[in-house]
Every structure is written in C-alpha cells, then in structure tokens.
Structure 1
Amino acid sequence: MRVNSDVEFVILNRDESLYQEALDLRFNLFFEPANLPRDVLFDDNETRSTHLTLTQDGALLAYLRLTEASDKHFQLSQMVVTPKHQGKGLGRRLVTEAIQYLRARSATDVTLSARLHAIRLYTSVGFVVSGDVYLSKRTGVEHINMHLKIK
C-alpha cells in the first residue's frame, strides 16, 4: 500500500515541533535499542545539517539529515521512516527528494552509511557500495558505506 500523493517535502527548522518528533523517532529506532543516552543525537553534525522530512497533513512520515562534509560533498544520515509507514515507498521518495535538493544546490556527490537491510533502497536511486561491511561504533549494528555522484 502506497501513501497518497498529498505527501509534502519539508525542510525543518530546529525550533519546530516536527523536528522534536524527528529526534524522538531517530532515538527510538536507532539509539534506544542500543541502550544509548538521548544526547547521542546531538553529534557535531546536528546543528550544521539540513533536516528534511516528508509529512502528510502535518504529521511526520519520514526524516533524513544532510550535512555538507566539504565543498559540494554531502553526507546523508539518520534516514528513518515512522514504523506504521514503513514499506510504502517513503524512504525511497525522501531520498529521491534529497537528491533533487542537492542537485539544485550544485552538489557533486553524497555518501552514506547504510544498514544492510537498506542497501536495496539506496541502490534503487543510484547509490553504489563503496567499502566493506563494518560495525557502527555507536550502535554495534552492521553498516556499509555507499556513494552517489550527482549529475
């Protein structure tokens, strides 16, 4: 089942309530299962990143964070979809919107560290694997680096 087309792509400000919801979602799905403290969310990239979401009728559906690592090179991280909306194509749609956002800003490439179950999603929009599987230092979950050249 796909979500209706009235889904909206939104760039969040950190003072919005949706940003707080995104923080809660990220913590609940990524860090709480690893028994990490909530302050793990506030790494060096949090305040200098762009926070992108998909919403429907004002409700958060999906989130990701983009950080400029160097001139025109970005890192995509913390991509998450609300549990009740997973499997409906929202992750792919949000990543596609993020690529368009980066293309409009003349970005040259974007990298990410994917959980292994998400490799198919990222390859479906053009990312390629660039490295070996490794364990996240924070969560102990297996990840792999991926890369996309933006044309």
Structure 2
Amino acid sequence: MKVNSDVEFVTLNRNEPFYQDALDLRFTLFFEPVNLPRNVIFDDVEARSNHLALTREGTLVAYLRLTETSENHYQLSQMVVTPKDQGKGFGLQLVTEAIQYLRARSATDVTLSARLNAIRLYRSVGFVVSGNVYLSKRTGVEHINMHLKLKQHQNKNATKGH
C-alpha cells in the first residue's frame, strides 16, 4: 500500500533483505551503543512478531515490531528510523499505519515502552503514559510505558440479554 508518493508501507518476512536491514538498524541504534552483542535482538518474541516497515526506492526507511501478547492485545517495540530520515515524519507515519494494521485485525489495544524523547510522537496518535520512568533492563536507557485503546471490549453478558 502506498502511504505517500515515495514511501511504501510493507509487512516483512523474516527471510527477506528488508528484514535483515531492520535487524542491522536496530542493532546499530539500540544495542551497539551500549556494547550489547548482536544476538540480543533475537529475544523470545522476535520469531512470532509482525514486522512492519516503510521503504523507499529499494531501501528501508523505518521499522517497527508488533507482538500479540494475549488475544487482541499487542506490544509495539523496536521502532527505528534510519538516521538520514529521522525528523521527517516517517516515525509518525509508520506508527499511524501500524495502528490501522492493528485495527484491521480487531486488536483492542497496544502498549509500548517509549524512550523519553519519543513520548510526544506517541502522544500525537493517542497513546497515554502509564506508570513511571524506568531503566530498560537490557540497555539501561530510560523508558516509560504507554498504552493506546483501539476498541472497546464487548460485554458478553450484554449480547446475551443480561
């Protein structure tokens, strides 16, 4: 699906080059600066997650990962934008597309752990802060939990006439 004239929103398979580019970008931006080994990327949810990206002219622009944590509840994580494309609205564009992707799959809510400098971006699409600032166990970088309600839970008793 075309998002705008030069960027395309895509879902990635783990055996394609864009996914490998996303792994490289995630490692370079999140883990290498704090001297963690590359295999830290392959946590217990990597294989079962949905991998979404924006691409342009055969190159990765932005990436994020969505993981279903329980039925219709998702976790957004590992969002990155290539350094040369940061500050151009691609992060917001990708998060907006991811929210639509989740709504199309009947997701009820999505949570994330935001770096403090990304709070404003997530708030702009409706996420609210939940909890206090904490240090990431893996990187030691300050984060805060955020939550977005996508759809009301249906009351099963209401449909049965109770």
Shorter-chain TM band:
over 0.9
Moved over 4 A (4+): none
* Residues 1-151 of structure 1: pairs in structure 2 closer than 5 A: 5-151=5-151
Q: Give deviations 1:7-41, integer Å, cap 9, x for gaps.
A: 00000000001100000000000000010000000
Aligned counterparts of 1:98 and 1:114: Cα–Cα separation in 2: 16
Tell me how many residue pairs correspond in the alignment: 148
TM-score (norm 1): 0.97
Q: Give deviations 1:64-120, integer Å, cap 9, x for gaps.
A: 000000000000000000000000000000000000000000000000000000000
Counterpart for residue 154 of structure 2: none
Higher relative contact order (CA 8 A, sep 6+): 1
Offset, 1:5: 2.7
Aligned counterparts of 2:95 and 2:127: Cα–Cα separation in 1: 10
Offset, 1:6: 1.9
Q: Gaps spanning 5+ residues in structure 2: where?
A: 152-162
- RMSD of the alignment, in Å? 0.7
The alignment-based identity, stated in percent, is 80
